[in-house]
Amino acid sequence: MPDKSKIACIGECMMELTQPLPGHHTLGYGGDTLNTAIYCARLGLAVDYVSALGDDPWSDQMIAGWQAEGIGTHRVVRVPGKLPGLYIIETGANGERRFYYWRESSAARLLLSLPETPAILEGLLTYDLVYLSGITLSLYDEAGRKLLMQSLDRLRKAGGRVAFDANFRPRGWPDRAAAQRAYHDVFEVADIILASVEDLDMLFGDSEVKDVVTRLRVPELVLKLVEPSCRVRAPGIDQIIPATPIDRVVDTTAAGDSFSAAYLAARLGGAGPVEAAKAGHRLAGTVVRYPGAIIPRSAMPGGVARN
């Protein structure tokens, strides 16, 4: 059986350039599953990050930063001669952001085609829960995704669970049909799906979203709605959970990532799906009041998860 105290988050962390003042940039790092991993660690979970980085100084800084947050890094493969991806953020007056990416040759894209790949996939079987996103899927080619799905299926048969955040970014895929196939494959092995109407609409089209949601056989679905609320569907539950409106949104980055972290931490701590969704709303509602993906430790709200 997997270690019931541990989860693995699979994905990519990139170097991040922000522009606090015209003509000046600040270097940091970020990525959707990495953001979730950090918040999970802060909420008391034992978390390992699964990815690939280069052998450069910026990759060293990332590793040190993750370790400082309490994230395990022994499943991060270091690829000689490669670099992390890079993105620049442009923030609008309403807090919404626009992203510009340089990631086509990043080390993370090689994770499922390296000599270390079999060991990485075998290692996933030691976890209680493996978390990945639609952006994670977009990193790998079809052969790599097939290997990953096989490993996740083995994890479930061994008693572990899979959580999938349907975070969809069209530019990460060669075409929408490829993305749809990959999503349908992961839907088949997921125990928990965290999705938004917006993401599903971009991927499947407005006319198909309702049919996709109806057909999903996943044991646990959390669907973030257009209004500030989510729908939780689990055995014996189909309920709308409203979120408290936020009067001053500074930055929406990592709102969904932090929601996922709080939801999973609450569920693994013994909370039911409805209580977990409320925890997700509380953390996400705090995160959007601060600039950047990761808020100060001192700003973390209490009572989000039971550990």
Name the residues annotated as catalytic.
257
Spell out where 103-181 has E strands. Answer: 127-133, 161-165
| Residue 150, H or E segment | helix 142-157
Q: How distant, in Å, are the alpha carbons of 83, 85, 106, 225, 276 from that of 12?
A: 12, 8, 9, 26, 26
Strands 237-242 and 229-234: antiparallel
Q: How distant, in Å, are the alpha carbons of 131, 217, 289, 293, 307 from that of 42?
A: 16, 31, 18, 14, 11
Question: What's the CA gap between 139 and 142, in Å, rounded?
Answer: 10
Tell which residue, 225, 232, 216, 211, has the closest CA to residue 279.
Answer: 232
Angle between helices 273-287 and 255-268 (to 10 degrees): 150
Q: Which two tokens stand for residue 224?
A: 């973030």
